[in-house]
Amino acid sequence: MDWPTVLALLALGVLALMALGTPVAVAFIAVNAVGAWFFLGGERGLSQLARNMTASVSNFAFTPIPLFVLMGEVLFHTGLAVKAIDAVATLIRRVPGRLSVIALVAGTIFSAISGSTIATTAMLGSLLLPQMLKRGYDRKLAMGPIMAIGGVDMLIPPSGLAVLLGGLAGISISDLLLGGVVPGIILSAVFIAYIVFRAWRDPSLAPLDDEPVIKGWARWRPFVVHVLPLGTIIAAVIGSMAMGWATPTESAAIGAAATMVVAALFRELKMKALKAALIGTALVTGMIMFIILGATTFAQILAFSGATSGLIELVTKADLGPGVVVAGMLAILLALGLFLDQASMMMLTVPLFMPLVKGLGIDPVWFGILFLMCMQIGLLTPPFGLLLFTMKSVAPPEVTMREVISAAVPYVLFGFAITAAIFAFPRLATWLPSIT
């Protein structure tokens, strides 16, 4: 059987199972089992598949994932996140589109502590969206920033998806985490500038607050008490990696420990909150481990079947050039983002893309950041953008899905623009990793 047929059958098998409602990881494992039987030698192939599965989930490179997830779970279940939002709200005053700006600033802070995009959007939507609508904010201006900043979680460390991508693709996880800092900050800054400009040009979109202005120490005290301690966690995680003092796993452990200490100092680390955080961490980590298991073995089946080497040979003979190949891969990712979740996108494409990236000498960190940018855009694009559904679930019943999608459009366009900028100027992604 020639390699294009093998590749088509494996990919279509996965897509067909997912279309029938089979969980993503289970779909990949089922196809992997069939592929192992045919390409690795019957029962011996299945035995080898089982050994490969065990090896994939015991990879030490994936250790930061549960630790990063735990940081966010503790933050949310102890209530420290809500206190931080209140502190940011007290500090930011007399700014056009103030509540939308608060959502972006608070979301950026949480992005540097928790890599859970959906959790950030759900929390900010539940807390801030009712206030915005009550005060007469335009629905699109209210919902858009909350959804957009959730996607930034994927770029700014700690990011569980960045660790997952680095582990699956063989990219330096520390370089990938650090490489997302600059694009993430740029995205946040662009979003804030857009909101302020829109609200300044048309004040009816975001009426000014009538709350009394708090001055002096009373204004800064909540920020110092509830936000700066979270800054120590951010510095511990990013700083320890940037300075070369700790590996990604060690920095994740430092961050998890620092989050626990901060919660304990605020006397919020109660048994109920800790139990909920640990259960949430176990559920998310278990799901991610199944994804790793399925994606890693899928890559091995492709390699043994000859599909990977055949694809590399085809692209090499076409002599398209690295830039054209990367552009093509990004176009595929953006198209898949319309229909698949981020984990499924990784599982389908990483086994095919990374051999091409390595074979053509493309900078893997640069490509990894572009990959994350495409997945960030996919969170906001219909018909299956996860953050669109998250926002609809926390929005009032009268808000239609059409309005939610319309609210996300400007931020999707900004995502395209920043992705194009990173494509044209790779140093935006590679500068920070190169100086550490």
Question: What was the pLDDT predicted at 422?
Answer: 95
Cα–Cα distance, 130 to 218 (Å, whole number): 26
Q: Which residues contact 53 (CB under 8 A, 6 or more apart)?
A: 29, 293, 296, 297
Q: Mind listing the pLDDT tens digit for each residue in 368-426?
A: 999 999 988 988 888 777 788 788 877 888 888 888 889 999 999 999 999 999 999 99
Helices 386-394 and 401-424, axial angle in degrees (round to 10)? 140
Closest CA to 356 of 317, 390, 386, 388: 317
Give the pLDDT band of residue 211 (cuts 50, 70, 90). Answer: low
- Kindly tell me if the per-residue pLDDT of 339 is higher than 90: no
Contact 70, 165 (CB under 8 A): no
Cα–Cα distance, 175 to 129 (Å, whole number): 35
Start-to-end CA distance of the chain, whole Å, equals 48
Question: What was the pLDDT predicted at 114?
Answer: 65
Out of 65-69, 189-193, 253-257, 304-308, least confident range = 304-308
Q: Mind listing the pLDDT tens digit for each residue in 81-121?
A: 778 877 887 787 778 888 888 888 888 877 767 656 777 77
Cα–Cα distance, 415 to 330 (Å, whole number): 13
Residue ranges making up the domain that contains 62: 3-435
What value does the mean pLDDT of the chain take?
A: 82
**In the numeric block, which tokens belong to residue 208?**
């000014």
Cα–Cα distance, 378 to 407 (Å, whole number): 15
Question: What was the pLDDT predicted at 115?
Answer: 59
Q: Please report the DSSP string for 369-421 in residue order.
A: HHHHHHHHHHTTSSSS-HHHHHHHHHS-TTS-HHHHHHHHHHHHHHHHHHHHH
Q: What is the 3-state secondary structure (H, E, C) of 137-176?
A: CCHHHHHHHHHHHHHHCCCCCCCHHHHHHHHHHCCCHHHH
Give the pLDDT band of residue 251 (cuts 50, 70, 90). Answer: confident
The owner of tokens 């304990």 is 264
Mean per-residue pLDDT, 342-369: 85
Mean per-residue pLDDT, 73-86: 80
- Kindly tell me if the per-residue pLDDT of 143 is higher than 70: yes
- Kindly tell me if the per-residue pLDDT of 317 is higher than 80: no
C-alpha pair distances (Å), 206 with each of 90, 127, 138, 272, 426? 18, 17, 6, 39, 37
% of the chain at pLDDT higher than 90? 13
% of the chain at pLDDT higher than 70? 93
Domain count, the chain: 1
Q: Please report the DSSP string for 277-329 in residue order.
A: HHHHHHHHHHHHHHHHHHHHHHHHHHHHHTHHHHHHHHHHHHT--HHHHHHHH
Q: Which residues contact 357 (CB under 8 A, 6 or more apart)?
A: 169, 326, 364, 367
Mean per-residue pLDDT, 286-297: 75
